[in-house]
């Protein structure tokens, strides 16, 4: 008995090995908490840097559109309006396109390999860097749409959104390039949630005599709605924060205009344009604008995550 116990004791781990185990565990713990530290760091740093501008202009910053470094007066209304309008309108175009494409990929209209090719093409589109899309937008897309914008202004000029002479670079071009960038996000998330709808729902619907599209509209899409909504919100967050392609094509003007055909501004393009050469209270105002952008995208993202948790499919 005594001998056996000694044997057992001898086979216990050495102290050093135990320590390594504990050190390893704690290292990974620290590394994973770095995520939270970075996240809070970003929020705190941007908030404190914007404090000077915040205390001077308060919430007026959000509703005035004067941006004058010479007179030292700052208001970000044009940029905030531009951010909201470009992201919401581009999303409005992207949702039907993206969901339609996702339906095309998940239904069997065409052989499987064609659908797989379409699916991977759309996903590869997401891999193209936004600055390259911006370059393409400047030199290929803008000349292509020029005539169309003239037409749009001529015949729909009575609508405030098209009321100005089309400028070479304008908000509408930014919306179009945003559609190109959001399409892969909406499509791939909509496809995943459509794929998750159980087959028996579809079969039940076919079984009681519903046609294919009746089934899609009344059974499949409602069942996949929460996933699609979450994808749409993620795309909205991306659209608001998207910088390069928009900066290159939107025209970067701080003069407020309702018209989409005149140059505009978004918060992120304002940051991209001015941050490098700003000084004094302009820097603080830019940080304030960055803070607004961050809060907007945080709210959208957190809401999307909540939506996924709350309404995720339970079959």
Partner 1 sequence: MNSLYYQKKLSRNVGDKFFTSLSVFCALIAILPLIFVVTYILIKGGAQITPELFTLEPNPPGDDLDAGGINPALIGTLVITTIASIIAIPVGVGGGIYLAEYSKGGPFSKFIRFGVNVLAGVPSIIAGVFIYALIVSTKILFGSMYSGFAGGMALSILMLPTVIKTTDEGLKLVPNELRYASLGIGASMYTTILKITLPTAFRSIATGVVLGIARAAGETAPLIFTALFSYYYIVGFEDLFYEMGSLAVLIYNFALEPYDAQNKLAWAASFILVISILTVNIFSRIFAAFTEKTKRV
Binding residue for partner 1, selected from 60, 92, 96, 312, defined by CB under 8 A: 96
Stretch of 1-9, 39-47, 156-164, 196-204 lying at the interface with partner 1 (CB under 8 A): 39-47
Binding residue for partner 1, selected from 62, 84, 97, 201, defined by CB under 8 A: 97
Q: Report 131-160 residues binding partner 1 (CB under 8 A).
A: 131-136, 138-140
Q: Return all residues near 199 (Cβ < 8 A) that are at least 6 apart.
A: none
CB of 95 to partner 1, least distance (A): 11
295 near partner 1, judged by CB under 8 A: no
Q: Chain-centre distance of CA 109, in angstroms?
A: 30
Neighbours of 289 (CB within 10 A): 29
Torsion angle (degrees, nearest 10) of CA 170, 175, 181, 185: 160
Neighbours of 283 (CB within 10 A): 16
Q: CA quadruple 60, 61, 62, 64: dihedral positive or negative?
A: positive
25 near partner 1, judged by CB under 8 A: yes
Binding residue for partner 1, selected from 32, 55, 59, 207, defined by CB under 8 A: 32
92 near partner 1, judged by CB under 8 A: no
Rg (CA), the chain: 26
Residue 67 phi, psi (nearest 5): -130, 90
Pair 274, 261: CB distance under 8 Å: no
In whole angstroms, give the CA distance from residue 191 to residue 172: 28
87 near partner 1, judged by CB under 8 A: no
Binding residue for partner 1, selected from 27, 68, 195, 218, defined by CB under 8 A: 27
Binding residue for partner 1, selected from 60, 68, 120, 218, defined by CB under 8 A: 120
SS3 68: strand
Stretch of 13-21, 56-64, 147-155, 197-205 lying at the interface with partner 1 (CB under 8 A): 13-21
Q: Which two tokens stand for residue 89?
A: 């309108």
CB of 75 to partner 1, least distance (A): 19
Binding residue for partner 1, selected from 78, 86, 87, 101, defined by CB under 8 A: 101
SS3 176: helix
Q: Which is nearer to partner 1, 106 or 262 (CB)?
A: 106
Binding residue for partner 1, selected from 79, 185, 194, 244, defined by CB under 8 A: 244
In whole angstroms, give the CA distance from residue 295 to residue 307: 18
Binding mask 172-211 for partner 1 (x = CB under 8 A): --------x--x---x-----------------------x
130 near partner 1, judged by CB under 8 A: yes
In whole angstroms, give the CA distance from residue 250 to residue 159: 20
235 near partner 1, judged by CB under 8 A: no
41 near partner 1, judged by CB under 8 A: yes
In whole angstroms, give the CA distance from residue 136 to residue 125: 13
**H/E stretch holding 73:** strand 73-74
Binding mask 254-293 for partner 1 (x = CB under 8 A): --------------x--xx--xx------x--xx--x--x
Binding residue for partner 1, selected from 79, 80, 105, 189, defined by CB under 8 A: 105
36 near partner 1, judged by CB under 8 A: yes
């Amino acid at each position: 008995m005594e001998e056996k116990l000694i044997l057992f004791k001898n086979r216990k781990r050495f102290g050093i090995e135990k320590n390594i185990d504990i050190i390893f565990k704690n290292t990974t713990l620290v590394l994973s908490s770095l995520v939270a530290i970075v996240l809070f760091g970003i929020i705190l740093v941007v908030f404190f840097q914007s404090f000077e501008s915040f205390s001077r202009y308060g919430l007026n910053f959000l509703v005035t559109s004067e941006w004058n470094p010479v007179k030292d007066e700052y208001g970000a209304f044009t940029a905030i309006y531009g951010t909201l309008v470009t992201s919401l309108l581009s999303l409005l175009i992207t949702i039907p396109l993206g969901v339609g494409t996702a339906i095309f990929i998940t239904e069997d209209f065409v052989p499987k390999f064609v659908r797989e090719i379409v699916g991977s093409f759309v996903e590869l589109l997401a891999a193209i860097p936004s600055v390259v899309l911006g370059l393409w937008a400047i030199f290929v897309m803008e000349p292509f749409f020029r005539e169309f914008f003239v037409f749009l202004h001529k015949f729909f000029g009575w609508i405030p959104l098209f009321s100005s002479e089309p400028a070479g670079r304008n908000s509408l071009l930014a919306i179009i390039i945003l559609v190109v960038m959001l399409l892969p996000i909406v499509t791939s998330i909509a496809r995943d949630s459509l794929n998750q709808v159980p087959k028996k729902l579809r079969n039940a619907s076919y079984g009681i005599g519903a046609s294919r599209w009746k089934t899609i509209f009344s059974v499949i899409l409602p069942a996949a709605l929460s996933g699609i909504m979450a994808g749409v919100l993620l795309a909205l967050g991306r659209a608001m924060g998207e910088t390069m392609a928009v900066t290159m094509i939107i025209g970067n003007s701080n003069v407020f205009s309702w018209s989409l055909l005149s140059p505009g501004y978004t918060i992120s393009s304002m940051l991209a344009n001015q941050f490098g050469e700003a000084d004094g209270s302009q820097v603080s105002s830019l940080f304030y604008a960055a803070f607004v952008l961050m809060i907007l995208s945080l709210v959208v993202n957190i809401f999307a995550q909540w939506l996924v948790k709350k309404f995720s499919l339970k079959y």
